[in-house]
Amino acid sequence: MRIPDTCNIYCPSFNLSTLGKITASRNELQRLQREVETELASFTPALLAKAFRGEL
């Protein structure tokens, strides 16, 4: 079996500006996710306490 010297493999090009925007969006989403996780961590115990006291 002979392997050709060159192969026609498609490799998409990308714009570094676009990559920067995608990275910035990902960073913002990660920040928002951490913020929501923090809020939920404090909300859950309060909700459970009200539920057990019959206040819901």
Each residue of 1-56: pLDDT tens digit?
Answer: 676 667 777 777 778 888 899 999 999 999 999 999 999 998 888 888 999 998 87
| Beta carbons of 34 and 28 less than 8 angstroms apart | no
Would 11 be classed as within a structural domain? Answer: no
Number of domains present in the structure of the chain = 1
**Tens digit of each residue's pLDDT (9 = 90 or more) over 32-41:** 999 999 999 9
Domain enclosing residue 29, as ranges:
18-56
Would 12 be classed as within a structural domain? Answer: no
- Tabulate helix, strand, coil % of the chain (nearest 5): 70, 0, 30
> What global pTM score does this model have?
0.57
Q: In Å, how far are 14, 17, 33, 39, 43 from 29, measured between CA atoms? A: 22, 18, 6, 15, 21
Would 43 be classed as within a structural domain? Answer: yes
**Residue 6 and residue 8: Cα distance in Å, rounded?**
7
User: What does the pLDDT read at residue 23?
Assistant: 94
Would 51 be classed as within a structural domain? Answer: yes
Cβ contacts of 56 within 8 Å, gap of 6 or more: 47, 50
